[in-house]
Amino acid sequence: MALALVSRASDRMTEAEWQARVELAACYRLVHHFGWSDLTATHISVRVPGPEHHFLLNPYGSLFEEITASSLVKVDLDGRVIDPPGAEVIPAGFVIHSAIHMAVPELACVLHTHTAAGCAVATQRDGLLPNTQHSLLIYDSVAYHDFEGAATELEERERIVADLGDKRVLILRNHGLLTVGRTIGEAFIWMYRAERACRMQLAFQGAGVPGYLLPDAVVEKTIEQGRKIANNNRHPVGSREWPAMLRLVERIAPDYKN
């Protein structure tokens, strides 16, 4: 989105890396704007374009509302900081995100949250229920990963990847939500849809009244409609919404691209 992306390449990075930094910083600001952040916890990562297998994470100790393009930390797949020297990242962020970046190179972005709605649904035995349009349209794109404690052990990476499979939303049981995408915009919109579905589920459950049971045929029809939306190559998930999100962040936090 030309409106939000600014041209800046230095002796330390390519133009492609800088543009990735700008978009990722925008994503951090949007996550804060929508109330999905958790102080300095959780992460959004993006693969740096190029052959080096580097990716960008938020610096340890920074709030999402403080993230700028130049403040992001570049690390390699072993978790070593490449740039800037002396910067720190949270080990759990490296484990969860590197698992996917290592195994599925075409997934450029990984987004992880600890929202109240996401954690609440992740704690429920049956997970996301197929009882609203919002949940049904993403239902076939959702997978689950069992909680193993704080994600600091490298051995967990294989299980994360195996559980994700070819899905775009991973409910981390008793922990939170994780989404992936070929672009930052795709991962963000999957998270938006998953978060909304979780909020609606909790609103229904908190109402304390009997639910309206959908016919099986309607459930299957809507899930199939969701599959078609997820696999629409002409209009990939996020391709229409993400430019609007960049316009929004340009209005509310234009310093993100510093």
Residue pLDDT tens, the chain, 258 long:
444 454 555 557 899 999 999 999 999 999 999 999 999 999 999 999 988 889 999 999 999 999 999 999 999 887 789 998 889 888 767 788 888 998 999 999 999 999 999 999 999 999 999 999 999 999 999 999 999 998 778 888 899 999 999 999 999 999 999 999 999 999 999 999 999 999 999 999 999 999 999 999 999 999 999 999 999 989 999 999 999 999 999 999 999 999
pLDDT of residue 4: 42
Q: Please provide the DSSP assignment of 8-70 as one string.
A: ---TTS-HHHHHHHHHHHHHHHHHHHTT--BTTB--EEEEPSSTT-EEEEPPTT--GGG--GG
| pTM for the structure as a whole | 0.93
pLDDT at 232 (0 to 100): 92
What's the pLDDT at 258? 96
Could you identify the residue written with the tokens 């990476």?
157
* 3 state DSSP class of 178: strand
Produce one character per residue of 134-144: b if its CB has 16 or more CB atoms within 10 Å, e if not: bbbbbbbbbbe
pLDDT of the residue at 183: 97
pLDDT of residue 12: 74
Number of H helices, E strands in the chain: 8, 8
pLDDT at 3: 45
Q: Would you state the pLDDT for residue 95?
A: 83
* SS3 (DSSP) at 183: coil
